[in-house]
Amino acid sequence: MKKVFLYSMILSFLLPSLWEGLGGVSLCANAAIRKEYKNMKEYIKTSNYAKGREQIAKCLADSTINTDPELYALAIALETKANDAENMKLYLNQKYDTTAFFNSNSKIVEYSLIHDKVQNALAPLSDAKRKKKATALVPYYQNLYNGGVFFIKHKQWATADRMFSMFIDNASHPLLAGHVSVPMPKMARAAFWSMTACFESKQYKDVFKYHDLAEADTANINYVLQYEALAYEQLKDTANYISKLKEGIAKNPTATEFFFSRLTDYYNSVHDYKSAYMLNDSLLRTDSTSTLYLYAQTIALFNMKEYDRCIANTESLLRISPDNADANYYLGLCWYNKGLDYDATLIPDPTSKTYKENKKKVNQMFEQAMPYLEKFRAARPNDKERWQAPLYRIYFSLNLSEKLKELETATR
């Protein structure tokens, strides 16, 4: 910060060259306007920054003078003095206003770049004077990044995005070209922070304004793709949302939980269980012991009514994670549904030996289901809508009167 202070002082010393570059020419010979400028100079002299900024805002709103280089030179002078004041406090170990410091810093850059444009349209500066001006401006430009980081940390998202946008957009500005060289990793990180700020402030369309650059931030690529996916979701762009989830899985198969969970949830929500199964299968080939992928495959196979395959898959899951309540539920429900499906094929005939044998098969399936559903009930006692009906049917079919009585009492 002390280094920035010294740069700020340098710009103050260079301001006379800025005035020289104007050649004494102003668009405003009007006496009333000259009085406005005189007032502005007095505010600068007395460090009345609030009044000075009011005066500048008033003049900027006037289309007859808002292309006058002198107006922007005065605005630069005001913001430079305000910036130096905060920097001096820091230099002297006094209490200072970091927000004011970075805001004035950004205004110096903004006004300097506009001044360069209007000055060139009126009477271009000599190369030597323009080089001095650019050299003085460079540290303020570089400090836009620091300002953006500061506002990110304080969750002032709109201001943070403004800082990073200025940093990115003006890196190749004619005034700064040849005077600044920002490494690609830093530029990519600025784009990532801009994306973060836009997402957090719910400016979802703006999330994508530097997305190509942000995706070059390899250290944060997972977060970049997450922001993009979530922004597409908020914009109700389902095609791009799904595409971005797939990209997230493809680009980092070892850290796919966010993308995988959302993609499988989407497939299940639209009843595209085959796609869910194929996704799970492809990832299980890379990590056959992943409880995340195994559980997702259990759900896919269950929804496809592939109960035998679902049982085998879920048993693999439970060998790794025996206390997984939902895995116990699906394993129990697979056996229960197998029993129901088989029972539905039987033609009731109490006198038939074959019928009695087949009913035993149904009950055997119910017996297989019972311990898993009871484990689920013990783990999730309040989840009655999932375990109450199958356990009731099982207890009734197996003539387990004591268990049936306890269940009725517990769920009354």
Residue-range domain boundaries for the chain: 1-143
Helices 127-153 and 184-200 cross at an angle (nearest 10°) of 50
DSSP string covering 254-282: TS-HHHHHHHHHHHHHTT-HHHHHHHHHH
pLDDT at site 24: 38
Angle at 23 between CA 22 and CA 27, to 5 degrees: 60
Helices 291-303 and 325-344 cross at an angle (nearest 10°) of 20
**Furthest C-alpha separation in the chain:** 116
Q: Which helix (H) or strand (E) holds 338?
A: helix 325-344
Residue 151, C-beta contacts closer than 8 angstroms, at least 6 positions apart: 102, 157, 159, 160, 163, 197
Q: Is 251 helix (H, G, I), strand (E, B) or coil?
A: helix
Helices 157-169 and 98-122 cross at an angle (nearest 10°) of 40
In the block, residue with structure tokens 């109450």: 388
How far apart (Å, rounded) are the C-alpha atoms in residues 70 and 26?
A: 6
The pLDDT tens digits along the chain (412 residues) read: 444 443 344 334 344 433 343 333 455 557 777 888 898 999 999 999 999 999 999 999 988 889 899 999 999 999 999 999 998 998 898 998 999 999 999 999 999 999 999 999 988 888 899 899 999 999 999 999 999 999 999 999 999 999 999 999 999 999 998 899 999 999 999 999 999 999 999 999 999 999 999 999 999 999 999 999 999 999 999 999 999 999 999 988 777 899 999 999 999 999 999 999 999 999 999 999 999 999 999 999 999 999 999 999 999 999 999 999 999 999 999 999 999 999 999 999 888 999 999 999 999 999 999 999 999 999 999 999 999 999 999 999 999 999 999 999 998 8
Residue 237, C-beta contacts closer than 8 angstroms, at least 6 positions apart: none
Cα→Cα distances 261→132, 279, 373, Å: 56, 11, 25
How far apart (Å, rounded) are the C-alpha atoms in residues 223 and 226?
A: 5
CA dihedral 399, 405, 406, 408 (to 10 degrees): 110
How far apart (Å, rounded) are the C-alpha atoms in residues 407 and 179?
A: 79
pLDDT at site 351: 86
